[in-house]
Amino acid sequence: MVEELEKKYGIADRRVLKAMLDIPRHLFVRKHLWAQAYGDHALPIGAEQTISQPFVVARMSEMLRVSPEHTVLEIGTGTGYQTAILAKLARRVYSLERVGELARAAIDRLRSIGIPNVKVQAFDGTVGWSEVAPFARILVTAAAPSAPKPLIEQLRPGGRMVIPEGSREEQRLVSYRKLRGGGVRREEGEAVAFVPLIGRYGWAS
């Protein structure tokens, strides 16, 4: 899987590739799907959610440009796979998951594989986590019609956010860079397809 990410898709960030080599993806999918865990496709995880394909996880992680001193906010914990990748790259990861059962399972799973620098909470991710803001990096793993205003506000100056934006059916990866004066610079990337970001500043259920 990691060799394909590098050679086929051009993922060049060595820290991202090492993190994806270190984290066993099959432990983050249902047992009957273990044989498919390292294929480059999304898989269902319950509650009408999915675990993203490895390429998308790698690309978003690379676009985020995480350094070891960074504190990261993740919106959409899911099974915790992307969370674990971020935890290998950052100093601390805070992750919000709207579906309580997924959040609880992710906490247990991350604890079982010895990921210590993560805090997961069941909450509406579109409002962010103001108590521990600002964040150096924010990663949103569900599709939004536009970047939620609270997330932009909780990004520190110089910080970066990566989010899929578009319709419910198709989106593009978008990178936001918060400028020192408080404005943002927006850059569009490749086409993707994510489940919708449900919440106060996202899509209605």
Helix (H, G, I), strand (E, B) or coil at 22: helix
Helix (H, G, I), strand (E, B) or coil at 182: coil
Active site residues: 52
Q: What values do phi and psi take at 29, rounded to 5?
A: -125, 165
For residue 92, what is the enclosing H or E element? strand 92-97
Q: What is the rounded distance in angstroms from the CA atom of residue 112 to the CA atom of residue 3?
A: 27
CA distances from 162 to 7, 51, 89, 138 (A): 23, 17, 15, 7
Q: Scanning the structure block, which residue is given the tokens 């991350």? A: 110
> Which residues on neighbouring strands pair with residue 92, listed in sequence order?
71
Q: Which of 76, 70, 132 is nearest to 106 (CA)?
A: 76
pTM greater than the 0.85 cutoff: yes
Q: What is the rounded distance in angstroms from the CA atom of residue 78 to the CA atom of residue 46?
A: 9
Mean pLDDT in runs of 10 for the chain (205 residues)? 92 97 96 94 92 97 98 98 98 98 97 97 98 98 97 97 96 96 93 96 92
What topology does CATH give the domain 2-192?
Answer: Rossmann fold (3.40.50)
Strands 71-75 and 135-140: parallel
Task: Check: CB of residue 36 under 8 Å from CB of residue 43.
Answer: yes
Instruction: Indicate the domain borders of the chain.
Output: 2-192
Cα-based angle 115, 116, 118 (whole degrees, multiple of 5): 90
